[in-house]
């Protein structure tokens, strides 16, 4: 008797209201179901799980002491390689104590910014070594003179380099200790450029 009758085609307003009510009810049911599914899932989305899986590094527990020692050697080798690369780039954390500090970096840049006679010291030693095996009187008389000349060149150039580095440090890095910087600079100048460690940061002729 009190059953609700459906709107007829002659009542478009009622028909539109009924359709809207059914659409909202359907939408609400869909959202509720979606929320229920999301809540019950309790797992990260595939993209997040994929990222986490990639970040994880596989680890296998060693089976015995021999396997543990091998894994430790592998880790040490990787760490040494990483540290050597950092030393070549001049990263402060990886440098030995003797190479650390802004004054040492300034000294290296100053020495590396130009060619110097001391740089060819090692080549000169090889030449003198060859001359020592030549037993002719004239060569044997020249070798001592060459040795004295090489020593004088190294001393004079080393003193000049040390003075210049100390002056630069006092100008650019006031308050920093310059103890031993002269000898440090002179010893770097004696090394062949390609073999210097850390590697030169500046090219020849560059300002720094």
* DSSP string of 3-51, one letter each residue: PPPPPPTT-HHHHHHHHHHHHHHHHHHHHHHHHHHHHHH-S--HHHHHH
Do residue 128 and residue 168 come from a single domain?
Answer: yes
Answer whether residue 51 is part of any domain. Answer: no
- Residue 170 pLDDT greater than 80, yes or no: yes
- Residue 32 pLDDT greater than 60, yes or no: no
Answer whether residue 50 is part of any domain. Answer: no
Answer whether residue 29 is part of any domain. Answer: yes
Do residue 109 and residue 75 come from a single domain?
Answer: no
Give the Cα separation of 201 and 99 in Å (integer). 14
Do residue 108 and residue 25 come from a single domain?
Answer: no
Give the Cα separation of 196 and 102 in Å (integer). 18
What integer is the mean pLDDT of 145-169? 94
CB 98, CB 160: distance < 8 Å? no
CB 86, CB 93: distance < 8 Å? yes
Answer whether residue 147 is part of any domain. Answer: yes
Do residue 35 and residue 105 come from a single domain?
Answer: no
Give the Cα separation of 79 and 4 in Å (integer). 81
Do residue 75 and residue 122 come from a single domain?
Answer: no
- Report pLDDT for 186: 95
The closest of 90, 110, 111 to 99, measured between CA atoms, is: 90
Do residue 108 and residue 189 come from a single domain?
Answer: yes
Count: domains in the chain: 3
Residue 17: pLDDT band with limits 50, 70, 90: low
Answer whether residue 58 is part of any domain. Answer: no
Do residue 120 and residue 175 come from a single domain?
Answer: yes
Answer whether residue 208 is part of any domain. Answer: no
Residue 200: pLDDT band with limits 50, 70, 90: very high
Output the pTM of the full model.
0.61
Do residue 89 and residue 114 come from a single domain?
Answer: no
- Report pLDDT for 37: 43
Answer whether residue 117 is part of any domain. Answer: yes
Structural domain for 29, as ranges: 9-41
Do residue 16 and residue 78 come from a single domain?
Answer: no
Do residue 86 and residue 116 come from a single domain?
Answer: no
pLDDT in tens, 76-99: 888 888 887 888 777 888 888 899
pLDDT in tens, 129-156: 899 888 899 988 999 999 999 999 999 9
Q: DSSP assignment, residue 120?
A: G
pLDDT in tens, 54-79: 555 555 666 778 877 887 888 888 88
Residue with tokens 């359907």: 26
Do residue 137 and residue 115 come from a single domain?
Answer: yes
Answer whether residue 87 is part of any domain. Answer: yes
Residue 90 makes CB contacts below 8 A (sequence gap 6+) with 105, 108, 198, 199, 201
The closest of 116, 120, 101 to 198, measured between CA atoms, is: 101
Give the Cα separation of 98 and 188 in Å (integer). 12
């Amino acid at each position: 008797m009190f059953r609700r009758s459906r709107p007829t085609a002659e009542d478009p307003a009622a028909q539109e209201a009924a359709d809207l009510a059914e659409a909202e009810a359907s939408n609400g049911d869909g959202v509720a179901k979606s929320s229920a599914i999301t809540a019950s899932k309790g797992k990260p989305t595939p993209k997040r799980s994929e990222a986490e899986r990639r970040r994880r590094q596989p680890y296998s527990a060693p089976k015995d002491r021999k396997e543990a020692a091998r894994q430790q050697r592998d880790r040490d080798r990787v760490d040494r390689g990483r540290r050597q690369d950092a030393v070549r780039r001049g990263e402060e954390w990886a440098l030995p104590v003797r190479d650390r500090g802004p004054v040492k970096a300034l000294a290296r840049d100053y020495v590396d910014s130009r060619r110097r006679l001391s740089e060819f010291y090692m080549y000169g030693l090889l030449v003198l070594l060859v001359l020592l095996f030549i037993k002719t009187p004239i060569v044997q008389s020249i070798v001592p003179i060459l040795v004295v000349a090489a020593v004088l060149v190294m001393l004079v150039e080393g003193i000049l380099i040390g003075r210049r580095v100390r002056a630069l440090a006092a100008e650019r890095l006031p308050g920093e200790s310059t103890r031993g910087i002269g000898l440090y600079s002179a010893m770097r100048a004696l090394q062949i450029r390609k073999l210097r460690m850390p590697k030169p940061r500046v090219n020849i002729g560059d300002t720094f």
